[in-house]
Amino acid sequence: MSAMLEVRGIARAFGGVKALNGVDLTVERGSITGLIGPNGSGKTTLFNVITGYVTPDSGTVSFEGVDITRSKPNQVFALGIGRTFQLTRIFGRLSVLENMLVATQRKESWLRGLTRGMSSSDELESAMEWLKFVGLDGKSHLEAGALSYGQRKLLELAYVLVANPDVIMLDEPAGGVNLTLINEIGEKIQALNEQGKTFLVVEHNMEFVMKICHTVTVMHQGTDLTSGPPAQVRSNPAVLDAYLGGGDDDEEEVVA
């Protein structure tokens, strides 16, 4: 496998607190890479740097060999990097299907196209296919705000998938979700990976991470502590110490 996404020496401080301090991360093409660490270790801040919501003080982010360090979020999305958030970002007053059609309009004028009913038949078909994939095709007519929390997580996943990104970044996909739905989300990630999709997953649920990920990177106090296969990471004394010792809760995690 070749590197698809590379982070080198990323640093970012908030009010004098170093949220990220020289982080390196590699996401190989066709992999499911996990990003774990105690609360306050910098995981979400790193996600926000990669996707353009936070500008780093130093370091670089490269996608397919191209420097995207200071690209804006919409530019990163258009390049082929899709992401979800810790707190789901959906349009609650739009229908489930309308949310999906927003995502099909990657580059411009999506709202004008949506409100004028200008989505193509191909876009409608793709939207419904992905809703079916996550089990929400029967709820396409409902307002998205009426969905359960777990269903909103699935809608956000489908929202990302319909734009056909090359790398899918998931920020705590199992957070606040019941066990049945956690297993379902894990199965869908693995099924998509078998079809060639590349994933970077931030998650606190260790069982979930160890089950689906090929490589796991551990962050602690704003830097990458270690990286390797799940079994190797799980037994690493430094990782155990980092978790048992707790994180630096003074870090300002920007959940954008």
Residue 197 DSSP label? -
Q: Mind listing the pLDDT tens digit for each residue in 51-61?
A: 999 999 999 99
Question: Above 90 in pLDDT, residue 156?
Answer: no
Task: Please state which of the ranges 37-41, 93-97, 225-229 shows the lowest mean pLDDT.
Answer: 37-41
State residue 86's pLDDT score.
67
Domain span holding position 15: 1-80+166-256
Contact 69, 56 (CB under 8 A): yes
State residue 254's pLDDT score.
37
Question: Above 80 in pLDDT, residue 113?
Answer: no
Query: Tokens 């170093």 sit at which residue?
Result: 18
What's the domain count of the chain? 2
Contact 91, 137 (CB under 8 A): no
Residue 168 DSSP label? E
Domain stop point among 102, 137, 164: 164
Question: Above 70 in pLDDT, residue 247?
Answer: no
| CATH number for 214 | 3.40.50.300
User: How many percent of the chain have pLDDT more than 90?
Assistant: 42
Same domain, 61 and 94: no
State residue 116's pLDDT score.
44
